[in-house]
Amino acid sequence: MKEELSLVIAFDATSDAFAAEDVFRQNGLSGRLIPLPESISAGCGLAWRAESNLEKELTDALKSIDITSAHIYYLIL
């Protein structure tokens, strides 16, 4: 599989991950839920993987549903 730079959003709660997926889809923002990469945090959980140029749109969407504690990373995945 071709590796590429991706924007990855990690959440403090799984409920936030699904609320985020919902609002991203409502706003037509592409991406998908993935297992939280170990390079972000050892353990488990979900993260949102999207194209690397969508940070503003994604963070605006998160703010609209009061998710302010998401963490944004840029990773080669």
What does the binding site for other proteins look like in residue numbers (CB under 8 A)?
A: 12-19, 21-22, 32-35, 42-46, 66, 69
CB closer to other proteins out of 35 and 39 = 35
Shortest gap between Cβ of 67 and other proteins (angstroms)? 10
Q: How far is the CB of 39 from other proteins (least distance, A)?
A: 15
Shortest gap between Cβ of 34 and other proteins (angstroms)? 5
**CA separation for the pair 3, 42 (Å, rounded):** 21
Distance from the first to the final alpha carbon of the chain: 9
- Per this entry, what is the length of the chain? 77
Tokens 């990690």 locate to 10
